[in-house]
A and B are shown apart, each in its own frame.
Chain A
Amino acid sequence: MAGKDASVLTISPDGPLRGSITTFGALAGSGFRRYTTYRQATIAGTFTNVVFGYLRCYVLLAVAASTLGNRPAGYDTEQLATYVWLGQGLLSVVMLWGWSELAERIRTGDVASDLLRPVPPLVAYLAADLGRSAHAMLTRFVAPVVVGALCFPLRVPTRWQTVPLFLVSVLLAVVVSFGCRYLVNATAYWLHDARGPIMMWVLGAGVLGGLYFPLRLLPDWLAITLWLGTPMPSILQTPLDVAAERDGPDLQLALVALQAGWAVALLALAAAVQRRAERRLVVQGG
């Protein structure tokens, strides 16, 4: 088809690190771009989050009002409103629910196309997910937080490090959530249909991630066990507690460090699962 110039294989003259960063950035950009094509879905989803935000906020504030000292689990009313409204925004940033793309591609055999690229599927999906979360941060996070700030008294950070720590915590929360979702989807390599594990994940992530109620309402021993023994609180409860300044600076930092630990562990586990799956993969559908 092409002349000689176009037929000879050439690798980018950039260094391997720079090339990898460019590739990762391009894949992240594609994740961002893909979600910009669904504007109406973004608006509808944001509206739903805002409506449920009101509902949850009034319920929790009612609970606070009936609690001795108006501080359930150590949160004051501003911190509770912050927990709810930032939570409503972060819900779609960490994509707690609704990702079955990999499982579907394994089921149909389309995962073969992912494997035919020179980028490992785990890296490609992570990059795309970070792009998606950046889009969600700019759209679906902002609206509920603005509505919450206009209608309720939210906590204004009192420490300079809270905002940068919150942003790092959100990034890590996305990675932890991605790691969990990837592993849940990867069960399709063995089960062919991952709907069961995905349903379990949806149920478990909502309860144990801290969406339905603040995990600090649980007895201390149970909350600590959940934080240390499962990645779930690192997905939603940690960034919310960081933003609400629920804890002192040391514990605030320690929770983010724990998140980082879970992020690394989950990515390593997902990479190992992917390697194992590829050895036994049977591409479905001819």
Chain B
Amino acid sequence: MIRTDNLTRNFTVRIKRGRFRREKRTVEAVAGVSLDIGAGEMVGYIGPNGAGKSTTLKMLTGVLTPSSGEARVCGLRPVPERTKLALRIGVVFGQRSQLWWDLPLHESFALLRHIYRVPAGEHAARLRRCRELLDLDDFLDTPVRQLSLGQRMRGELTAALLHGPRVLFLDEPTIGLDVVSKQAVRSFLAELGASGDVTLVLTTHDLADIERLCERLVVIDHGRVVHDGTIEALHARYGSRRSLVADLSSPLPEGFELPGATLVGVEADRHRVTFALDGVTAGAAVAQLVAAVPIRDLSVVEPDIEDVVARLYTT
């Protein structure tokens, strides 16, 4: 559905070097990104600020001409065939609006039906579904300029889907949203992805979005892909481990060792300990620990994707 081969985009920036002197410098925003995303996949595309995420998305949607390399989306070349491609993709930029500022939401939707030339029946069916899932009814008659950010984002998602796109590009769709709105957007996208009809490419800084929605994760840094695979593969690659945190009734004996686990934290006068589980299962580790020391409470903590990604960004 999406294929890029060595996709590159350079920008020229001018740096002040004196009163009248400016030095030209070429910045490689995207440096040879090659991706192959199949139909129905849900892909998280993440990276630190300035990594090239949005630039890649702009090239894939046809609004930015690549400096070199090839891209195909739905079998089309994004820039030369942009208007054809527009019928097949939906795009949500979290920081921009595709709705008409002065018009009520329902009029924006009606206008989009004509712009995309969607038959009335299909349009009504899709709108009905979005109204149900995103709770749009309360503000359908409100001009877009008066909507809250969360309401507008739900409107943006609907606007991007009313023409039945095969690919949905989402550039930070949950930016600035409160917890409830974020959950509404995530649930909606999860249901959309589960149908398998739409290929979804999501860029975000909120890794909870990725964990909830995407099986495949592409990490980009300084314009280059540094990881392309599942979240589990990322954890495996960076040695992320589950942890066992235990509150003990008596202090952990000095020199205590738990086979297959490493003691990584000791607190509260050796009454609270954390073991990283290297090869042993949580059950076996708990059994060994209980046999040695009485336990008041314990929990098994999954590896934190934020830590992994932070390590990835800084390496």
Contact = CB atoms under 8 A, between A and B. Distances in A.
Interface of A: 1-14, 19, 22-23, 25-27, 29-30, 33-34, 37-38, 109-110, 112-113, 115-120, 124, 278-283, 285-286
A11 B102 contact: no
Contact of B58 (A9, A25, A27, A283): A283
A19 B115 CA distance: 9
Contacts of B63: 112, 115-116, 281, 283
B195 A11 contact: no
13 contacts: A1-B130, A5-B125, A9-B166, A10-B119, A11-B117, A30-B111, A38-B102, A112-B96, A113-B97, A116-B63, A116-B86, A119-B115, A281-B65
Given A2-B126, A9-B164, A282-B64, A110 B192 contact: no
Given A23-B117, A34-B103, A112-B58, A9 B88 contact: yes
Given A2-B126, A113-B96, A7 B198 contact: yes
A29 B113 CA distance: 13
Nearest to B117: A12
Given A113-B96, A282-B64, A283-B64, A13 B119 contact: yes
Contacts, number: 128
Given A1-B192, A10-B118, A282 B111 contact: no
A186 to B, nearest CB: 16
Nearest to A286: B54
Nearest to A11: B117
A118 B97 contact: no
B205 to A, nearest CB: 12
Contact of B65 (A8, A29, A279): A279
B58 A1 contact: no
B255 to A, nearest CB: 54
Nearest to B89: A116
Contacts of A120: 83
B249 to A, nearest CB: 52
Contacts of B192: 1
B163 A9 contact: yes
B100 interface: yes
Given A6-B164, A113-B97, A30 B122 contact: no
A3 B121 CA distance: 13
B11 interface: yes
A279 B195 CA distance: 36
A12 B197 contact: no
B114 A23 contact: yes
Contacts of A113: 93, 96-98
Given A4-B197, A9-B88, A116 B98 contact: yes
Contact of B87 (A1, A2, A118): A118
A278 B58 CA distance: 12
Interface residues of B, number: 51
A8 B164 contact: yes
B95 interface: yes
Nearest to B64: A283
A121 B122 CA distance: 26
Contacts of A112: 58, 63, 93, 96
A1 B188 contact: yes
A286 B98 contact: no
B14 interface: no
A38 B62 CA distance: 35
A109 B93 CA distance: 11
Ranked 10 nearest A-B pairs via Cβ: A26-B114, A12-B117, A7-B197, A118-B86, A113-B98, A34-B102, A1-B192, A6-B126, A2-B129, A115-B63
A58 B50 CA distance: 61
A194 B10 CA distance: 25
B278 to A, nearest CB: 41
Contacts of B88: 9
Contacts of B307: none
Contact of B195 (A7, A10, A282): A7
Interface string B64-86: 11000000000000000011101
Contacts of B129: 1-3, 6
B48 to A, nearest CB: 13
A19 B93 CA distance: 28
Contacts of B114: 22-23, 25-27
A278 to B, nearest CB: 8
Contacts of B89: 116
Contacts of B54: 286
A119 B11 CA distance: 28
Nearest to A12: B117
A8 B165 CA distance: 8
Nearest to A22: B114
B133 interface: yes
A1 B165 CA distance: 12
B143 interface: yes
Contact of A118 (B84, B93, B103, B161): B84
A14 B91 CA distance: 26
A27 B115 contact: yes
Contact of A115 (B62, B116, B119, B166): B62
A10 B122 contact: yes
B216 to A, nearest CB: 20
Contacts of A2: 125-126, 129, 161, 164, 195, 197
B115 to A, nearest CB: 6
Nearest to B12: A282
A269 to B, nearest CB: 20
Contact of A33 (B93, B107, B164, B165): B107
